[in-house]
Amino acid sequence: MTSARDLYERTVAELAPAAAENRLVDLVEAGTAPVEALRRIAGEEYRIIHSDRRSFALLAARFADSTPASAGFFLGLAQGEGQALDLLPPFAAAVGLSPADLAAHRPRAAAQTYPHYLAWLAQSGALADTVLALLANFGFWGGYCARLADALPRHYGLSAEATAFFRWFATLPPDFEPTALALLQSALDTGDSPDAARHAAHLMQAYEASFWAAVL
């Protein structure tokens, strides 16, 4: 029997070396990232959050009957995206974008691979694939957000309100990891492939890296 925690820890260890490299976050910490890159983060995230919120709601509906605990888990993630959406405009305003600018932003294809893959998982992916991909990725994404939340006030003069978007994502809810691991274990126990789940996590992290490269 495959252990969900062992699979999770193995996957994170595999992804960590590449995930440690994030040129844009490094530049923000050095105070040399162009403000235009920060504007692109805001514009791309506006579209990503809308998409991810719908994907999580679809996942909640799709797996509610087969794995009842998944409904609350995914609905909680959808609600979190809604809260993040409320926190995005102050960051956008701080880097020179109005709400109308956010809505009018034309995304870069490479910056949107992550939400497109999550939408595919929501439609067609196995539960183990989806949960492991989120488990592994959220830790790295949260780490990037924590670094940005610390560096943006120091080098770009952003207020606590303007960086609240990044603070929101910097720390996972206390029940996220144990709930996700329980769902992953249930999916593995009922036949989902651990190798396929690992591959999904590798794809998700590659799409995460694509986002950061695209906004720079």
pLDDT of residue 65: 92
The predicted structure's pLDDT at residue 174: 86
* Model-wide pTM > 0.85: yes
Residue with tokens 């274990």: 185
- Other CB atoms within 10 Å distance of the CB of residue 6: 10
Q: How far is CA 165 from the centre of its chain?
A: 13
Give the integer Cα–Cα distance in Å for 174 and 29: 27
- Give yes or no for a contact between 35 and 96, defined as CB atoms under 8 angstroms apart: yes
Helical H runs in 64-193?
Answer: 69-94, 99-104, 113-124, 127-156, 164-170, 176-189
Digitized pLDDT (tens) for each residue of the chain, 216 residues in all: 899 999 999 999 999 999 999 999 999 999 999 999 999 999 999 999 999 999 999 999 999 999 999 999 999 999 999 999 999 999 999 999 999 999 999 999 999 999 999 999 999 999 999 999 999 999 999 999 999 999 999 999 999 999 999 999 999 988 999 999 999 999 999 999 999 999 999 999 999 999 999 999
DSSP 171: S
Which structural domains are found in the chain, ordered by start? 4-215 (1.20.910.10)
Residue 151 and residue 156: Cα distance in Å, rounded? 8
Residue 173: predicted pLDDT: 86
Residue at token pair 């943006």? 152
In sequence order, the 6+-apart residues with CB closer than 8 A to the CB of 176 are: 138
Question: Which strand (E) or helix (H) includes residue 8?
Answer: helix 4-19
Joined tokens for residue 57: 């709601």
